[in-house]
Amino acid sequence: YYSPEPTPASEPVAAPEPAPAASDSIVRRVFEAASSALVVVGTDGAIREANATALRVLGREGDAVGQDFADLFLGEDARVEGRQALRAALNAPAGEAEPITARDPEGGGVLWRILPLDGAEGADALLLAGERWDEVAEAEPEVIHNDTAEDAGAEAARPSDAEPVVDEAAIQARIDAAVAAALDAQTRPDAVDVTEAASREAERQARIEEALADAAEARALARQAQLDEHAARQAVETARAEAEDARQAAARARSEAEAELSGGRRMESVGRLTGGVAHDFNALLGVMTSALDMILRQADDPSRVKRLGQAALAAGQRGEVLTRRLAAFSQGEDEPVLQVMDAGVLLKAMEARLRAQAGPGVDLLIEGPSDVATARLDPVAFEGAVRALVANAVEAVDGQGSVAVRLETLMEGGLRLSVRDSGPGMDRELAARALEPFFTTKEGASGLGLSQAYAFARQSSGVLSIDSVEGEGAEVSITLPSADQGAAG
């Protein structure tokens, strides 16, 4: 409760020694819970430890460690004497050190008992236990025992402002009991060895730091793994993009190659088509020239001359029609010339040419209806479609096999022209593409046969169908409406 005052320059105070390390937790609890004010002072007079009771006596809540005991707990007039008493107590035997009395203006005070604390080379600290005079008086109401009336009278005659009577033996007993309890707690068998506890704490801290280091390393590895994964994903995305670019480039190259190959095939097919037209013209011209030659040689036989002239005229008319069709096709004006004709007669007239086309290795069967089979059609397109279907069938059997050409009337009306071969047949995918112009699976073929037959069926209001099983040959049919149905459509 005394305000701290600066230390006079004539009495310098040495720098405070560092406070000793905290002892066992049990000793610390006893020290803090003691009802007496306990202060540990070093050889230089600086406070090393002070419990809560001592701080209450001082009237402050802050830490007093490192400050001079005399400056904090003694009045200015008692500090010199107090410091001398502390120095003398360092060399006094246990229990014989002179106490220090700190008086306050109100007439009370604190009695400080001193107990030297021995170290390796003698006393290196002092334990001061303080008790207030009023507390001592309250705890010990019968301090002095007077049996005589004279003593009682003397006690009654004592002035009221005299110093209070203090039972120093009782105070010393209480201080000794507190110190003994603290020492006993420190030396009990169940007290924890401070060194061992400190070692275990150090080991625990080391394990914690090692675990933290491992955790930090694990986090670093995880972060690096995330970075590696991100880089790998970017590499995969880049590879995918490059693969997609390469695929598109390959697709473009393939498309260009196919277009170039298809263009080459088209030119080849056009060449074959031109050759076929030239062959047809050559055949027509051959008929005409042969007929004219025979007319000149047999001019004396009018009937024969007439027949030969009619054959030459028919050949010339066919050549004329073919020429007009080619010209119209080249100019985009190829309109069909539909006529009501007997398809059976047209097919029978083609038999010789079809057998010559099939060749000797093909067993060609041609069947036509016994009755009239009329339809609205273009005769030139009809012949071209039949010859194209037969050519496809001969190519399918590779010149060795059987081909059947049939023309029949249907009960519901109309005609059905079919060409069947004994070749390898087609699967569904090939059958779906068979009608595409220039599509072929045969080396050297034009790929125009089925497309030509399909064009004839469409211009005649008919339907073309393909019936094929792989390994069992194929049959191509063209169904035409009757002459009446075709005119109505």
- For residue range 167-198, what is the model confidence (pLDDT) as tens digits? 556 655 665 665 565 555 445 554 445 567 77
Is 96 part of a structural domain of the chain? yes
Q: Which residue, of 137, 157, 192, is where some domain finishes? A: 192
Q: Which domain holds residue 44?
A: 25-192
* Contact indicator for 90, 109 with CB cutoff of 8 Å: no
Of the residues 163, 192, 221, the one at which a domain ends: 192
198: exposed, middle or buried (C-beta count within 10 Å: 0-12, 13-18, 19+)?
exposed
Last residue of a domain, one of 168, 192, 216: 192
* pLDDT, position 402: 93
pLDDT > 70? residue 470: yes
CATH number at residue 435: 3.30.565.10
Residue 146 falls within a domain, yes or no?
Answer: yes
Q: What is the pTM of this model?
A: 0.37
- Residue 170: inside a domain, yes or no? yes
Residue 5: which pLDDT band, with cuts at 50, 70 and 90?
very low
User: Does 296 fall in a domain?
Assistant: no
Q: What is the CATH number of the domain that holds 111?
A: 3.30.450.20
In a domain, 427, yes or no: yes
* Most confident segment among 146-160, 335-349, 435-449: 335-349
Q: What distance in Å separates the CA atoms of residue 453 and residue 451, rounded to the nearest whole number?
A: 5
| 3-state secondary structure string across the chain | CCCCCCCCCCCCCCCCCCCCCCCCHHHHHHHHHCCCEEEEEECCCEEEEECHHHHHHHCCCCCCCCCEHHHHHCCHHHHHHHHHHHHHHCCCCCCCCCCEEEECCCCCEEEEEEEEEEECCEEEEEEEEEEEHHHHHHHCCCCCCCCCHHHHHHHHCCCCCCCCCCCHHHHHHHHHHHHHHHHHHHHCCCCCCHHHHHHHHHHHHHHHHHHHHHHHHHHHHHHHHHHHHHHHHHHHHHHHHHHHHHHHHHHHHHHHHHHHHHHHHHHHHHHHHHHHHHHHHHHHHHHHHHHHHHHHHCCCCHHHHHHHHHHHHHHHHHHHHHHHHHHHHHCCCCCCCCEEEEHHHHHHHCHHHHHHHHCCCEEEEEECCCCCCEEEECHHHHHHHHHHHHHHHHHHCCCCEEEEEEEEECCCCCEEEEEEECCCCCCHHHHHHCCCCCCCCCCCCCCCHHHHHHHHHHHCCCEEEEEECCCCCEEEEEEECCHHHHHHC
What's the rounded mean pLDDT across residues 286-307?
76
For the ranges 4-8, 131-135, 219-223, 324-328, the one whose mean pLDDT is highest: 219-223
Taking only the tens place, the pLDDT of each residue in 408-430 is: 998 888 899 999 998 888 877 77
Q: What is the pLDDT of residue 160?
A: 43
Q: Is the pLDDT of residue 354 over 80?
A: yes
Q: Measured over all CA atoms, what is the biggest interatomic distance in the chain, rounded to whole angstroms? A: 207
Question: Does residue 90 fall inside a structural domain?
Answer: yes
- Asked if the structure places residue 469 within a domain, the reply is yes
**Euclidean distance between CA atoms 131 and 181, whole angstroms:** 17
Order of strands, sheet of 474-480, starting from the edge strand that comes earlier in the sequence: 362-367, 401-409, 415-421, 474-480, 463-468
Over range 455-464, report the average pLDDT. Answer: 88
Asked if residues 74 and 102 have their Cβ atoms less than 8 Å apart, the reply is yes
Among candidate residues 453, 434, 460, 344, the one with its CA nearest the CA of residue 388: 453
Identify the bridge partners of residue 23 per DSSP, sorted by sequence position.
none
Nearest to 419 by CA among 465, 481, 361: 465
pLDDT score at 28: 77
As a whole number of Å, the end-to-end CA separation of the chain is 130
What is the number of domains present in the chain?
2
